[in-house]
Each structure stands twice: as structure tokens, then as C-alpha cells.
Amino acid sequence: MSAYGSDRFDCDVLVIGGGIVGLSTAYAVTRAAPGTRVVVLEKERGPARHQTGRNSGVIHSGIYYRPGSLKARYAVRGAAEMVKFCAEYGLPHEVTGKLIVATERAELPRLHALVQRGRENGIPVRELGPAQITEYEPRVRGVAAIHVGTTGVCDYGAVAAQLAEASRADIRYGAEVVAVDRRPWGVAVRTADGTIVRGGVLVNCAGLHCDRVARLAGDDPGMRIVPFRGEYYELARPELVRGLVYPVPDPAFPFLGVHLTRGIDGGVHVGPNAVPALGREGYGWSVVRPRELAGTLAWPGSWRIARRHWRYGAGELHRSVSKRAFTEAVRRLLPSVGPEDLHRAPAGVRAQAVLRDGTLVDDFLIREARRTVHVLNAPSPAATASLPIGREVARRALAHLG
């Protein structure tokens, strides 16, 4: 039964953002409370046009994330649920497993720490020596590795489209929100074409623009989205890689390093290289959004990141402008690769929340205000974890309807 039957409301729950988290929230609301009216407003002409549809399609196991964190809990649960969802709806997917490979002895303590973290998170992990690495990946070289059996791949764009259909929500594409008016009875928003939509509670799943939407609602999110572009190549000889191969990540950063991912289409993505984007949707160096760039530069946290991590950033920038340098990063894992084996592929942009002091927010971040739920940090593994995230956001939204 709808909580708000009056004609003054267009819906009970009004979701901004038609990526996988927004659509998972709509799906969860209609399952938890049948009859609840949900409207999803998405500024693009279809679902999953940004973070959801521009990644390597990995179903993450949850091995990287701090035990007890939302990322760890939701990724482990979400990976199993994502496989089940894809199977239920006949969506392409495969549980492939993956290797995390140490290419030098200095990385072994971090690799062993991942083994421990994986076991604490309840993830099956197998430790491998050099000879065992080649059993899984004959062309990959390393001093040690771990095999994570629960990692897989799918098509998150197809998942998002299925969530949209299964939710039975009123999903309105080409509807960019430009104003939010929060009242005691609920929330009204205005879209770019002048349409007014009124709901009992607002859910902000705007991804790359979530901090801007929070400020439109009159809330100080306490963070800013600093966009990082992930640059990918496609491997011209996909037969060189059987599955998924990752380096040992640097725990100081939320990025996993340049890795190799065989997708459900049989192609192999190589990347991403992570560099600052010059706009929220800056998918190339030629895409510059002066107002958005000015907003990033005006945020104190941006400069603190730059001062703290300039050496790491310089390496990423070098790999961005030099294909040879990028190739060398790949050759650490796959020595037989040359520059001619790498062809440019579409880039993605990560919506990374950064605090005023320069801290890169490491976990999913969900905050509430009156009649509002804001999802303020949901980068990878948010697609993997989207079903449990959607349930949590839906639970909070429905509590506001009371």
C-alpha cells in the first residue's frame, strides 16, 4: 500500500541517478514494500552510462577490504547475490577466479596480508608458488601469487537494465535535476525541462554528481567528488590470458593497479591507469569542464592529496602519456606483451569522495538528513555490492516514510 496516496505526491520514493546503485535501490524498495511508488530520474538517455557501464565487469570477491567494513560485508554478500541474479535472469556471467601476483619479493608481506584479510572475510584463498602460477596462467610470471576462487565477470550494463525492468519503477531518462526543495511533507525537485516531481523521500544516487545534489538539497556532504579517469587498453592477443590477473595493490590507495581482465565477450581489458579527470565526465584529456575543474581545485582536500601522493600521481601521469611506460607496467605480470599488443579502449571515471583534509574515503559512505538519503561514496566494488547496498538504502528511505 502506498504511504502517500495523495495526488500532491508523484511518488513515495524519488531516486536521483539511474546507475546500478540507484536502480538496485528502486528494485529493493518495490520488493520490501510492494505498492510503494518509485520514480527514478536519470539525466542520460538510458541506464548505466557512467561508472556502471564503464568498468571491466568484475564481480569482486571482497578480499581487499578491511574486515567489518561495508565494502567487505557487502562485496562478499553481493558477489554471491550478483551471480544468483544473473543466473535467475539469464544474464551473461562467469565465475572465473583470479590471480593476485607478486612480481618481486618486496611485495610478499602485502600478499601475505591479503591472504589473512581474505580468510578473515570468509573468502577461499589458495597460495601459489611460481610453478603453480603457470598452471593457471602459462604466460604470467611472479615470485608468488594467491588464487581467489569467488571472483567472476558479468555485464553490469545488462544487470542495470534488468534491475530497471524488474523494479517496475517509473524511470525517466533525460531528466537532469537542477533544483531540490525539501519541505516538512517531503521533497520536490525540478528537472532541466521545468518538470516538477514530488516525493515523500529523496534518495541521492547521483554518483559523479552526488555531492552537488546533496548541496542542492541544502545539506553539507562534508566531502567532494574528485574524479579520477581510469584508462584502459584492449589486448590484441587475448589468448595470452586465460582469466583475471592482478598485481599486489598499494594499500595507501583505493586503486588496484594495472590488471588484466578477460570479459564475458572473450576480450581482455588491460588497466586501468588512474589519473585526475578534468571534468566529472572527463573521459579523455580533451574533455575539460572549467567550472567542475575549478570546483575540484577549490577543495582543500585536492591539494592535500597532490602534496601527499605526488610521486604516485607522477607515475600514473607518465603511463597516461607514454604507451611504452604503460606497457612496462603490464610486462611486470605478462612479459610477452609489447606496445603493439595494446589498443586503446574506452575510459571510465571513478567518483572518489575526498574529505577536506585530503583523506580518500575508503568505504561506502551513506548519510541521512531530513527526508533524504545520500549515497556519497560508492566506487568499486559498488557494482558487485549493488544488491545489498540497494537494500540498505531502501531500508533507510522507507524509514523516512514512517
Domains in the chain, CATH or no CATH each = 11-51+157-222+363-401 (3.50.50.60), 98-149 (no CATH), 224-355 (3.30.9)
- pLDDT attached to residue 310: 82
Query: Band of the pLDDT at 4, cuts 50, 70, 90?
Result: very low
Q: Is the per-residue pLDDT at 260 higher than 60?
A: yes
- pLDDT attached to residue 254: 62
Mean of all residue pLDDT scores within the chain: 94
pLDDT tens digit sequence for 221-247? 999 999 999 999 999 999 999 999 999
Q: Give yes or no for a contact between 56 and 384, defined as CB atoms under 8 angstroms apart.
A: no
d(CA 100, CA 174): 41
The burial of 294, by beta-carbon neighbours within 10 Å (0-12 exposed, 13-18 middle, 19 or more buried), is given as: exposed
* C-alpha grid cell, residue 183: 519541505
Q: Provide φ and ψ at 268, rounded to 5°.
A: -115, 115
* C-alpha grid cell, residue 64: 581487499
Candidates 217, 222, 223, 224; CA nearest to 370 is: 217
Candidates 386, 397, 383; CA nearest to 14 is: 397
Candidates 250, 315, 318; CA nearest to 102 is: 250
- pLDDT attached to residue 35: 95
Give the mean model confidence (pLDDT) for residues 147-169.
97
